Amino acid sequence: MTERTVGAMTLSLPSDREILMTRVFDAPRELVWGVMSDPAQIPNWWGPARYTTTVATMDLRPGGSWRFVHAGPDGEFGFHGEYREIVPPERLVYTFEFEGMPGHVLVDTITLEDLDGKTRVTARSTFDTVEDRDGMLNSGMETGAAESYDRLAAILATLV
């Protein structure tokens, strides 16, 4: 398994169709869950800071849909999916599709583990093919994910 550190986040490749990202946040699990699942907070941390993120849809229930849009100097980019499983404050499973590459749908499984006042967030992305996984890795997603997690940590620090 390949593993590397990107800022405070660890990224590994547990199989040829998966990306695993892990980060520990200095905040209780319920608070981390609350910020990660609040549509009013999503624009404050989801994606790189160079983009303005808009929550177009966020129906947080199994079978509910979500759609976020990044807008910036290089254009507008949409992402969407469907929630499959929600177990507050410990697990969230949803599909993820970048609208610029339709038909390449992955499944994200987010787990939040209580570490005595801190929270380990693990995001496992499962792809249909190794080519889809490698395409995501080559897109620069790891720096965007690390920046998103840095922004999430900054918000959590103001709320603890």
Domain chopping of the chain, boundaries: 2-159
pLDDT of residue 160: 86
Q: What is the CATH number of domain 2-159?
A: 3.30.530.20
Question: Across all residues in the chain, what is the average pLDDT?
Answer: 95
Is the per-residue pLDDT at 7 higher than 90?
no
pTM reported for the whole predicted model:
0.94
Q: Do the bridges between strand 65-72 and strand 118-126 make them parallel or antiparallel, or are there none, so unpaired?
A: unpaired
Q: What is the pLDDT of residues 95-132, one digit of tens each?
A: 999 999 999 999 999 999 999 999 999 999 999 999 99
Q: What is the pLDDT of residues 55-99, one digit of tens each?
A: 999 999 999 999 999 999 999 999 999 999 999 999 999 999 999
